[in-house]
């Protein structure tokens, strides 16, 4: 089984982790028109490539960001959201 490295708990089986989609900036709901908001709500960047994604180490509840190539499933790195030095 594939391994993933939790920034807090270290390498664990991928079955311990929950995926929650790509990290995406949300537009300001107050200033967005309907189309802009619907685009944010529904549309996804479905093209394969290196993405920053939300993952949770489920047993410990640690949320973090994984940089992963969705074409190959290679995980480049994992880091805590907005951790110092972890450029997104």
Binding site for other proteins (CB under 8 A): 1-3, 15, 18-20, 22, 29, 32, 34-35, 37-39, 41-48, 51, 53-54, 56, 58, 61, 63, 70-73, 81-82
CA geometry: angle at 25 spanning 23 and 27, to 5°?
150
Nearer to other proteins, 47 or 85 (CB): 47
Q: Distance between CA atoms of 62 and 49, rounded to whole angstroms?
A: 25
Quote the least distance from Cβ 73 to other proteins, whole Å.
5
Nearer to other proteins, 2 or 85 (CB): 2
Beta bridge partners of 69: 50, 74
Looking at residue 25, the DSSP 8-state letter turns out to be P
Instruction: Write down the residue that tokens 């499933």 correspond to.
Output: 73
Quote the least distance from Cβ 65 to other proteins, whole Å.
10
């Amino acid at each position: 089984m594939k391994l993933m490295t939790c920034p807090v708990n270290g390498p664990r089986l991928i079955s311990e982790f929950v995926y929650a989609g790509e990290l995406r900036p949300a537009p300001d709901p107050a200033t967005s028109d309907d189309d802009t908001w619907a685009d944010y709500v529904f549309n996804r960047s479905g093209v394969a490539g290196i993405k920053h994604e939300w993952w949770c180490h489920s047993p410990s509840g640690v949320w973090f960001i994984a940089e992963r190539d969705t074409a190959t499933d290679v995980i480049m790195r994992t880091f805590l959201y907005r951790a110092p030095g972890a450029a997104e």
